[in-house]
Amino acid sequence: MTNDREPAITRLIHIIDKPALWSGWLVSWLIVPMVLALVYEVTARYFLNAPTVWAYDVTFITYGTFFMLGSAYTLQRGGHIRTDIYYGQWSPRRQGMVDTLCYLIFFFPPLIIFLFVTWDFFWTSFLRDERSVTSPWLPRIWPLKAVLPTTCVLLLIQGAGELLRSIHAWKTGHWVPRFNPVSATDRIEERPHV
Distance, first Cα to last Cα, the chain? 7
- Angle 55-148-56 from CA coordinates, rounded to 5°: 10
pLDDT in tens, 156-185: 999 999 999 999 999 999 999 887 655 545
pLDDT in tens, 96-125: 999 999 999 999 999 999 999 999 999 999
DSSP code for 176: P
DSSP code for 87: G
Please state the φ and ψ torsions of residue 134, each to the nearest 5 degrees: -90, 5
- Give me the mean pLDDT over the 37-66 stretch: 94
Q: Is the pLDDT of residue 64 over 80?
A: yes
Please state, in angstroms and rounded to a whole number, the distance separating the CA atoms of residues 180 and 164: 18
